[in-house]
Chain A
Amino acid sequence: MAASSTSETHPTARDLMDAHPTVLHPSDKVSKGVKCIMEHRYRRLPVVDDEGRFKGVFGVNCLLRLVLPKAVVMDKGLSTVPFVRDSLSDLHRRLKEVEDEPISLCMHDESTQVSPDTPLLETLLTLYKTRASLPVVDPKTQKLVGVISYFDVGEKILSAEA
């Protein structure tokens, strides 16, 4: 009763999240990860290990990272490459070269996350800064307990009484 009341008056990340998100495993192949995000048009998916612990995210940014030359995406690499004339086939060739590698090769070790008890505004601010779906992680067990997307938040706001 008290918890419900608190949830209504002081909602947290737990009240916004999707508790059953699609997830990937670090040993999943790049080809599987690419297929998954392309089929469902996900911007990124959380990656969890066998115990459900959050390990990072794999998304369209990782996909771009795989098809671009390393000299461009690396730290202190080339900031512009207007002189390169690569074709779509060249990009596809780069992707083919790594398709059987595990996604752990290129997943982003996401540090931005919220706990289930993070207050509403703090959660929204983090979401705003991250500009992508936000993993909700139990700080004690490091297990992924859900994901918050812009759409989840939009639905919740629109369905709330003004």
Chain B
Amino acid sequence: MNHGTEVINIVFGLDPQWYAGILFVLTYLLIMSERINRAIISLTAAGLMILGGVLTQEAAMEGIDFNTIGLLTGMMIIVAITKQSGVFQYLAIWSAKLVGASPWGILVMLSLVTAVLSALLDNVTTVLLIAPVTLLITDSLKVNPYPYLFAEIFSANIGGTATLIGDPPNIMIGSAVGLTFNDFIINLGPIVAILLAIIFIPIYLIWGRNLRASPEARQRVMDYNENDAITDTRLLKQSLLVLAIVIIGFTNSHQIGHEPATIAMFGGALLLLLSNLPRSPGEQSKEIEKIFSQIEWITIFFFIGLFIIVYGVEKTGLLELVANEIMTLTKGDAQNTTLLILWVSAVASAVVDNIPFVATMIPLIQNMGPSLGGSEALMPLWWALALGSCLGGNGSLVGASANLIVAGFAERAGQPIRFLPFMLMAFPLMLGTIAISTVYIYLRYL
């Protein structure tokens, strides 16, 4: 089979589409089984894609989206340094005191802080920072932390939908299609704001109206001194400066002509430089080792392997075949295809990791371009994919990494979030957010 100038020399004379397809399905099944670490699975499968002859090493390197990798890594470095200043704890306590330590007010405020931070950082980092403070506050208030953690899961996934850097699917979509930070804010910001406001209604009806705390308990929270959370004022100033530069860089990336990965990596390097200037070379090495150890290498290598696998499948022409089948199913109608992508992405992302799902969907949608009338006609499909894959993560505990992180905290605090009870509550709420998104997409794009 000839694909452009490349000739695939598959092992044992197997059909490349069958080989890549089976490898791809096996990879998915193994990731879903959670028996083997996902980075091991994706790197092994990527190796088999090359060793099997579907891709050469050079082609595999071409398949890796270094813009996604660079953006993720750069932001991880910035967050790893910034969090040492205590600014995130400050924000959480400040917001709790702003509402007089009222239990419902705190739930709303912590959820909003989670949503905003998720939009500017990544969901996993955000919940790692906010969930422990939440448990501390609910312990002082003597209230059940479950509703707070539930609301934070939803807020993290909804908030992360708003920006290019908020959730890995958006990073991947933005990088593949060339969408800017502003594109995401303009197109997804309004629906995210609407969903954030609406999601508090069911949470209030289910839990919020029964949240009570004694005046003494509320006073304990009011006695927290948020200023003491800031442990390093100098680092705080440096971090806020670099974060501001990076955000301004993202919003103006189109004008300055640089990719988000360059901006994020430069931001990370600049903050490393500023924060390490007063240290001796020996101390710098120790500090950098500590910061680099906080980069989620499992996620980074998972991405690298995944990009190679999906590129291999794409090279065999398999995704083109599937795209044509979808076009036949939707009769080439842009509206039907968009809504199909939105709903399928949401349900799929609730049960499988949304990162491999989106990695597969991107070339699939790109292959639909000619049938739907070019790249401009694909825009509603990209927004549908972003909304479906990010919001779908709310459907179950395994829908997003952030959900599992929060569940881990809840377990350790003696208030476990069980898979089925969570899903019984979360899945219908997630479908509700998708229904609202359907209306939004229909009114705005179709």
Residue of A nearest to B86 (CB): A80
Residue of A nearest to B138 (CB): A71
Residue of A nearest to B226 (CB): A83
B413 near A70 with CB under 8 A, answer yes
Given contacts A70-B412, A74-B412, A78-B89, contact A86 B136 (CB under 8 A): no
A74 near B409 with CB under 8 A, answer yes
Checking A75, A76, A81 against B136 with a beta-carbon cut-off of 8 angstroms, the contacting residue is: A81
A110 in the interface (beta carbon within 8 A): no
A85 near B224 with CB under 8 A, answer yes
Interface string of B395-415 (1 = CB under 8 A from A): 000000000000011001110
Q: List CB contacts (< 8 Å) of B66-117 with chain A.
A: 86, 89, 93
A82 near B229 with CB under 8 A, answer yes
Q: List CB contacts (< 8 Å) of A64-79 with chain B.
A: 69-72, 74-78
Q: How far is the CA of A77 from the CA of B135 in the complex (A)?
A: 9
B416 smallest CB distance to A (angstroms): 13
Checking A70, A75, A83 against B228 with a beta-carbon cut-off of 8 angstroms, the contacting residue is: A83
B226 near A71 with CB under 8 A, answer no
Residue of A nearest to B405 (CB): A76
A90 in the interface (beta carbon within 8 A): yes
B133 near A78 with CB under 8 A, answer yes
Interface of B is mostly: helix
Chain B residues within 8 Å of A72, by CB: 136
Interface residue tally of chain A, by bracket? Answer: 10 to 19
Interface string of A81-117 (1 = CB under 8 A from B): 1111110001000000000000000000000000000
The 10 closest A-B pairs by CB, nearest first: A71-B135, A71-B136, A74-B412, A83-B228, A82-B228, A85-B223, A83-B229, A78-B132, A71-B132, A69-B139
23 A/B residue pairs, CB under 8 Å, sorted by A? A69-B135, A70-B135, A70-B413, A70-B414, A71-B132, A71-B133, A71-B136, A71-B139, A71-B413, A74-B135, A74-B409, A74-B413, A76-B409, A77-B412, A80-B231, A82-B229, A83-B89, A83-B228, A84-B136, A84-B224, A85-B223, A85-B225, A86-B220
Name B residues whose Cβ lies closer than 8 Å to a Cβ of A.
86, 89, 93, 128, 132-136, 139-140, 220, 223-229, 231, 408-409, 412-414
